[in-house]
Copies of this chain bind each other. A is one copy, B any other.
């Protein structure tokens, strides 16, 4: 059943509906237990193999603020943050993600999280003193999709440095914006995350009903996390916000000056999905970091859900610039609660890359013209 009805089509070429038209064929059961009330994505714990190299990347180049550090971990935050950190770099043998951490409304929500995941049969751990510094009572789980999720409310308050313009760099990062997760079965993941309280804001589908990716939010931006179809569970990227577009360009300029432009994987560009301005970098371990700015308010319950045709050449880049294959295929391992990498399951649904690039794929710029509409950039 096609998600695309002519009456839902906007003058911008995508489709809007009142609710996400996504149905999983093999759903994870919806728990009877109430989901915890998640405020927002709060921090990611990244395992890195060379702490000094990662510090150089995140502190010296990207300008994140060190809240605290020791020989094993560096705790970093963005300029407008008042909780202890938005990123933890943990030294380890294999580059991976140890936790996607969400802040909840209160400690009571942690009880709900425990019940929610126990009902789902997931492994659940709770630590009154937190798994990392600066965070109190917390719950970590391996969720039904295989991702290490954390929930917490208690945190040490640190100074919000928003007014400290003497500390700003030209590419100043001001907020953690979102996570992005690679998972083989997007509809299954979306339904589960809806059960956890997330709302879909945008997605990419085809006329046959295959869902390639979906964006979901708790705070009223386009997303706190997204699911990208691909071999998984893996982490696709973690995203920080700047105030303006020139801040993102300044990061590119600085990487050029440092002769590290090969850290730029894709962009900068304007997303179709989210309408945000973006840049994708790869850190010294290959972890993907997005720099992102200016999406839109999504907080109303009837916020229109945007669905993009996978063949729309402007869905991933509004300017039609090509997506590099690595962006589709590469991602970071995620760890279980013992620190072992989760097994990666291959996607069996159609691949967005195969559908849109190469011998069998196609993309259109304008409605109807499948040949003429090819972006010139695709010639490469």
Contacts and interface: CB of A to CB of B under 8 A. Distances in A.
A165 B254 contact: yes
Interface string A274-308: 01010000100000000000101101111110000
Given A106-B301, A365-B262, A380 B321 contact: no
Contacts of A243: 244, 294
Contact of A320 (B163, B262, B365): B262
Contacts of A318: 163, 252-253, 256, 261
A126 interface: no
Interface in A156-174: 157, 159-160, 162-170, 172, 174
Contacts of A367: 259
Contact of A326 (B162, B245, B294, B376): B376
Nearest to A106: B301
A254 B166 CA distance: 5
Interface in A75-113: 80, 82-83, 103, 105-106
A350 to B, nearest CB: 20
Contact of A11 (B103, B159, B244, B261): B159
Interface string A228-265: 00000000000000011110011011111111111011
Copy number of this protein in the oligomer? 4
Interface in A358-380: 365-367, 372-377, 379-380
A228 B378 CA distance: 23
Nearest to A365: B262
The dominant DSSP class at the A interface is loop
Interface of A: 10-14, 16, 39-40, 80, 82-83, 103, 105-106, 157, 159-160, 162-170, 172, 174-175, 219-220, 243-246, 249-250, 252-262, 264-266, 268, 270, 272, 275, 277, 282, 294, 296-297, 299-304, 313-314, 318-322, 324-326, 365-367, 372-377, 379-380
6 contacts: A160-B304, A170-B172, A253-B319, A261-B318, A268-B268, A326-B376
